[in-house]
């Protein structure tokens, strides 16, 4: 189920790549590998943390019975 919209996806990928790059170049510590999470969720278009709350930034409405 896709629940991450276009702008949200773009921002997640951008932030994820920035954090990973900062680790790679030694600007921040190992905690920056957390950037893998927004990168992954941005690439697949789904955020598991949105599911329990029924939250979605995706403009396309999906049928629940499909």
> Residues 10-61: pLDDT tens digits?
999 999 999 999 999 999 999 999 999 999 999 999 999 888 888 888 887 6
- Cα separation, 62 vs 19, in Å, equals 32
pTM of the complete model: 0.83
Residue 38 covered by a domain? yes
pLDDT at residue 53 in the model: 87
Query: Does residue 55 lie within any of the structural domains?
Result: no
Residue 56 domain-assigned (yes or no) = no
Looking at the 3D structure of the chain, how many domains does it have? Answer: 1
Q: What is the pLDDT of residue 64?
A: 62
Among 42, 2, 1, 3, CA closest to 19: 42
Residue 22 lies in a domain: yes
Task: Tell me the C-alpha distance between 41 and 38, whole Å.
Answer: 5
Instruction: Check whether 3 has a pLDDT greater than 60.
Output: yes
- Which pLDDT score is estimated for 55? 85
Domain containing 12 equals 6-50
pLDDT of amino acid 59: 83
């Amino acid at each position: 189920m896709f629940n991450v919209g276009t702008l949200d996806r773009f921002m997640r990928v951008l932030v994820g790549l920035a954090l990973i790059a900062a680790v790679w170049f030694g600007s921040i510590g190992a905690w920056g590998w957390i950037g893998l999470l927004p990168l992954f969720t941005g690439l697949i278009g789904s955020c598991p943390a949105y599911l329990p709350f029924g939250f979605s930034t995706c403009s396309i409405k999906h049928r629940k019975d499909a």
